[in-house]
Amino acid sequence: MPDDPDRRATRWILTASALFFATLGGAMLFAPVEVASAFGWTAGEAVGSLAAGGLLSLAVLDFTARGAIHGGIYGRPIVLANLVFVLTAGLALLRRQLEATPAEPLGWLLVGGLALHGVAFGLMLVGRLGGPGRG
């Protein structure tokens, strides 16, 4: 059913996630030092390139899986992979932002984007968004 609201929600979330990760991953792949500098990070080129690989991998995963229902037990590996990434990255960057003096405004934008994705994937995991519930 292409007009199913659960599929539309999943498609929208995974497409937004793919665009978010691809944009950041592409920028970090081609300009890792400049991106790190813009966010106030002190990472080297190799670290930025490794992060870009992970971000681009998640972007491809989300883009190719965007047509399926992922709530409840369906698509659990895709939802879990995204949730683990956004939680670990979001908490690490939140810590960095709180310790930085002064904190970079772009860093808060990234933390906010990861938090939004965390809420969306958390809701998908428990079946409240994007698919049938557990019960």
* Number of domains making up the chain: 1
CA distances for 127 relative to 23, 87, 118, 124, 130, angstroms = 28, 18, 14, 5, 7
Residue 133 lies in a domain: no
The per-residue pLDDT for range 51-80, each reduced to its tens digit, is 889 999 999 999 998 877 676 577 888 999
User: What distance in Å separates the CA atoms of residue 133 and residue 135, rounded to the nearest whole number?
Assistant: 6
The domain of 89 spans 5-125
Exposure b/e, 74-104, CB count within 10 A at least 16 = b: bbeebbebbbebbbebbeebbebbeeeeeeb
Residue 134 lies in a domain: no
Q: Is 45's pLDDT higher than 90?
A: no
Residue 54 lies in a domain: yes
Which DSSP symbol is given to 105?
H
Residue 130 lies in a domain: no
pTM for the whole structure = 0.80
The share of the chain scoring above pLDDT 90, in percent, equals: 35
The per-residue pLDDT for range 84-102, each reduced to its tens digit, is 999 999 998 899 889 888 8
